[in-house]
Chain A
Amino acid sequence: MIRKGLALTLVLGACLLGWGAVAGAQEPPTTTTTLAGAPGVPPAPGTGEALQGTLQYRNADRDNVPVEGADITVETADGQQVTEVSTDEDGKFRVDVPGPGRYTATIDPKSLPDGVSLVDEDRASLTVTVNPTQARTVLFRVASGETPGARTDNVFDKAARLAVEGVSFGLIIAICSVGLSLIYGTTGLTNFAHGELVTFGALMAYLFNVTLGLHMFVAAPLAIGCGVLLGFGLDRGFWRPLARRGTGLIAMLVMTIGLGILLRYIYLYQFGGFSRTYRQYSLQTRGLEIGPVTIVPRDIFTLVLAIVVLVGVALFLQRTRMGKAMRAVADNRDLAESSGINVDRVIGFVWAGGTGLAALGGILLGLSEQVSFLMGFQLLLLMFASVTLGGLGTAYGALVGSLIVGLFVQLSTLVVAPELKNVGALLILIVILLVRPQGILGQSERVG
């Protein structure tokens, strides 16, 4: 049994590794993902010091439009002109500078196309420090008359739109985190690699959908199937043998972190740091208008599918023998075992099912946003916030907590800058632990 699980894991791993040659060949040029690296990572050799950047604005459809032909002058700190360049058709520019030091880049507002202007006129001239071998990015913010803000409406309309987005996001988090909560409940393991299981589903779907050219309706089930196999393989081939050896839970927890890093950088290695979209992504017809809210068919589909899946999960947990057994093991493992439940089998099911759900969540997230190697890790902390809020280890707690976190994250952008929206969710996590550490649905236990 262990052999079989290990073989499965190996096959899946080989599958992922063998895909680099295909996926690597078609890297789209633009959007890069910010990567939180560790210090001491040396820059690629052979690249000299430079200033670079991309000039683009967002139109009313929230698509990025490059600005071509804008003139940018680069001077050294003492006012000597290095060169003057114009942005190319992708809005990109790059100036090789003579060495490390301080440089001033100035954009000529008059060279911008009609209707496009600088967001902040005071920032037409930017002074930056270029470190050795650094290609320093210079950011000029430009906007056209028809910025996303132009579609402004009153606060209630905006809140309604954000609430719909929040529910949709919350449902996706819920699908991803049911597995996280159940794995914790049945095994006691806090799985810090769960985000990578989410990414796995999204990347597998990308592999089937874009690299192999299958339709999304075929690619998604295949990817979920791979997720189920991965979960099963991880349990049989890795965690169960470790538990047999008597490895402690804290050691396993640290191992999940190692596994997470390993998987994340295998994804990056094979997939590159770019964000991509699925093939049927652009299939957007006119949206459905309900009051102030416009929903495109893709989002309605996501919403309905998420609800159907979650109701299905709830029914499964409530009605079937295996579902009841899962809740029993999560509630009290020893009692469940002594009443004749095959705990190992239940845990195997939880891993397989939880990873399958995480894969589905990853696909839905990839549809509503984009696919990148970091997407799962970025979601991980929100998942932790959700399951802690709902009650770590309870099945329904993950659902309740996810909806609250999803809504909160989206609605908080009414007040705070969008880049800080996740901060709010993580602050809830800390407040919840202060007030009600067992979560909304959890039972209090005597601690400390």
Chain B
Amino acid sequence: MDIQSIIQNGVESAIGRDAIVYALAAIGLNVHFGYTGLLNFGQVGFMAVGAYGVSISVLEFGWPLWAGVLLGVGAAVVLALLLGLPTLRLRADYLAIVTIAAGEILRFTFRAAVLRDFTGGSNGINGFADDFYRPNPLGTGDYGFWRIRFSQNQLWVILVGWTLVALAVLLVWALMRSPWGRVLKAIREDEDAVRSLGKNVYSYKMQSLILGGVIGAVAGMMLSISAQSVQPDNYGTATTFFAYVVLILGGTARILGPVIGSIVFWGFLSVTETVLRQAVDQKYIPNSIMNSVQVGQVRFMLVGLGLILLLVFRPQGIFGDKQEIALAAR
């Protein structure tokens, strides 16, 4: 066992691209699920419109990056309106079904061969993020300490990404201690009581869906820009469920829950995966039980099992408060 490379992979994942992207996606989900009690199972749909919004407007329309970002945000708002209009008046599980369906509709559409000239079909779109890397003040080279090294581009992604996470955290913190945020929390606790106080519950839910969706779209943009490519199959339902695990692990309805959740989640996944990979490579685990392809699948089993165990034994996650989670029946 190479302990050093286990630690190295763990730390790199815990502060790297995936942790940033899922922290942002989970902050958006926290607004939906944690604060308002909306069951959005299509967060990946918001990520996808953000990612495709940026890449299509840069490559196909020839727009500058900032205009693409605006388009992506606009697309997320439109998507939230489309999803929210039919479902926000209904029972919670209808929103769940419709959002999960919408995420898949978007993926099917983006990977459809008939739209290949526009979306690149199942191959996706590559090479649209030059505008992002151009203002990078860091010179060419490796940065970091010990064995943890990042190229100037990776470090630029990490710096910008964590800045965005911090801004999103600040925004959510400020909003949730405002009267507006208190109404959201009240809707989560008892919708009818809020309605009887004369608040327009439908409108508040819609605003929450839009806010969380836009944060999700930013997560999608970070994912596509850091990879410099958009692949439709990266935007499958599994992505949403990863974000849910991140959120519940860190603590639902806690400002820093998604951030800590993401760091712990990716650190843990990376460490287990490196350990398993080494064990398989060095034949501690015989190939008849697990081969190198199956190592990658263990991650998904751990996510599924983790989701069940968390909800059975510690639904409030690391930081949460049991009183503040909308997990009861409605």
Q: Chain A residues with Cβ under 8 A from B306's Cβ? A: 258
The answer to whether the Cβ of A36 comes within 8 Å of any Cβ in the partner chain is: yes
The answer to whether the Cβ of A150 comes within 8 Å of any Cβ in the partner chain is: no
Interface stretch, picked from A88-96, A249-257, A355-363, is A249-257
Interface of A is mostly: helix
With A250-B329, A423-B108, A447-B91 as given contacts, are A38 and B101 in contact (CB-CB < 8 Å)?
no
Whether A262 lies near B97 (C-beta < 8 A) is no
Interface string of B301-330 (1 = CB under 8 A from A): 101111110011001000000000011111
Interface stretch, picked from B131-139, B161-169, B171-179, B226-234, is B226-234
Whether B296 lies near A42 (C-beta < 8 A) is yes
Whether A36 lies near B126 (C-beta < 8 A) is no
Interface stretch, picked from A56-64, A67-75, A264-272, A399-407, is A264-272
Q: Chain B residues with Cβ under 8 A from A264's Cβ? A: 300, 304
Q: Which of B21, B88, B292, B298 contacts A45 (CB 8 A)?
A: B292
Whether A426 lies near B327 (C-beta < 8 A) is no
- Within the complex, the shortest CB–CB distance from B286 to chain A, in Å, comes to 11
Whether A384 lies near B239 (C-beta < 8 A) is no
Q: Chain A residues with Cβ under 8 A from B91's Cβ? A: 447
The answer to whether the Cβ of A209 comes within 8 Å of any Cβ in the partner chain is: no
Interface stretch, picked from B57-65, B146-154, B210-218, B240-248, is B240-248
Q: Which of B13, B17, B315 contacts A251 (CB 8 A)?
A: B315
Within 8 A of A (CB), among B89-107: 89-94, 96-98, 100-102, 104-105, 107
With A381-B101, A426-B101 as given contacts, are A41 and B296 in contact (CB-CB < 8 Å)?
yes
- How distant is the Cα of A204 from the Cα of B273 in the complex, in angstroms? 29
Q: Which of B94, B107, B277 contacts A36 (CB 8 A)?
A: B107
Chain B residue with the shortest CB-CB distance to A245:
B312
Within 8 A of B (CB), among A224-269: 242, 247-251, 253-255, 257-266, 268-269
Q: Chain A residues with Cβ under 8 A from B296's Cβ? A: 41-42, 44
- Within the complex, the shortest CB–CB distance from A20 to chain B, in Å, comes to 8
Q: Chain A residues with Cβ under 8 A from B329's Cβ? A: 188, 248-250
The answer to whether the Cβ of B293 comes within 8 Å of any Cβ in the partner chain is: yes
Interface stretch, picked from B66-74, B109-117, B253-261, is B109-117
The answer to whether the Cβ of A190 comes within 8 Å of any Cβ in the partner chain is: yes
Interface stretch, picked from A4-12, A294-302, A429-437, is A429-437
With A39-B234, A248-B327, A250-B329 as given contacts, are A255 and B297 in contact (CB-CB < 8 Å)?
no
Whether B315 lies near A417 (C-beta < 8 A) is no
Within 8 A of B (CB), among A110-145: 128-129, 131
Whether B233 lies near A35 (C-beta < 8 A) is yes
Whether A262 lies near B308 (C-beta < 8 A) is yes
The answer to whether the Cβ of B193 comes within 8 Å of any Cβ in the partner chain is: no
The answer to whether the Cβ of A40 comes within 8 Å of any Cβ in the partner chain is: yes
With A45-B292, A128-B123 as given contacts, are A420 and B114 in contact (CB-CB < 8 Å)?
yes
The answer to whether the Cβ of A54 comes within 8 Å of any Cβ in the partner chain is: no
- How distant is the Cα of A269 from the Cα of B88 in the complex, in angstroms? 38
Whether A37 lies near B238 (C-beta < 8 A) is yes
Whether A419 lies near B234 (C-beta < 8 A) is no
Q: Which of A45, A257, A430 contacts B307 (CB 8 A)?
A: A257
The answer to whether the Cβ of B189 comes within 8 Å of any Cβ in the partner chain is: no
Whether A21 lies near B288 (C-beta < 8 A) is yes
- Within the complex, the shortest CB–CB distance from A314 to chain B, in Å, comes to 25
The answer to whether the Cβ of B299 comes within 8 Å of any Cβ in the partner chain is: yes
Q: Chain B residues with Cβ under 8 A from A411's Cβ? A: none
Q: Which of A34, A131, A247, A388 contacts B97 (CB 8 A)?
A: A388
The answer to whether the Cβ of A410 comes within 8 Å of any Cβ in the partner chain is: no
Whether B86 lies near A258 (C-beta < 8 A) is no
Q: Chain B residues with Cβ under 8 A from A385's Cβ? A: 101
Q: Chain A residues with Cβ under 8 A from B8's Cβ? A: none
With A37-B238, A250-B39 as given contacts, are A417 and B112 in contact (CB-CB < 8 Å)?
yes
Whether A40 lies near B18 (C-beta < 8 A) is yes
With A37-B233, A44-B296, A430-B86 as given contacts, are A266 and B101 in contact (CB-CB < 8 Å)?
no
With A38-B238, A248-B329, A250-B39 as given contacts, are A258 and B304 in contact (CB-CB < 8 Å)?
yes
Within 8 A of B (CB), among A420-448: 420, 422-423, 426-427, 429-431, 433-434, 437, 447-448
With A38-B236, A423-B109, A426-B101 as given contacts, are A44 and B311 in contact (CB-CB < 8 Å)?
no
With A39-B223, A266-B301 as given contacts, are A255 and B308 in contact (CB-CB < 8 Å)?
yes
Whether B244 lies near A423 (C-beta < 8 A) is no
Q: Which of B18, B108, B301 contacts A269 (CB 8 A)?
A: B301
Whether B236 lies near A37 (C-beta < 8 A) is yes
Q: Chain B residues with Cβ under 8 A from A188's Cβ? A: 329
Whether B101 lies near A420 (C-beta < 8 A) is no
- Within the complex, the shortest CB–CB distance from A414 to chain B, in Å, comes to 15
Whether B311 lies near A258 (C-beta < 8 A) is yes
- How distant is the Cα of A82 from the Cα of B312 in the complex, in angstroms? 56
14 CB-based A-B contacts, threshold 8 Å = A37-B236, A38-B239, A42-B273, A129-B126, A190-B93, A249-B329, A250-B92, A251-B315, A253-B93, A258-B306, A261-B303, A423-B108, A426-B105, A433-B90
Question: Top 9 nearest A-B pairs by Cβ distance?
Answer: A36-B236, A258-B307, A262-B304, A261-B304, A448-B89, A248-B328, A249-B329, A251-B327, A265-B300
With A38-B239, A258-B305 given, can you name 20 additional A-B contacts, CB distance below 8 Å? A21-B288, A36-B107, A36-B235, A37-B233, A39-B234, A40-B266, A42-B273, A46-B292, A247-B311, A249-B328, A265-B304, A269-B294, A269-B298, A419-B108, A426-B101, A426-B104, A430-B102, A433-B90, A437-B94, A448-B201
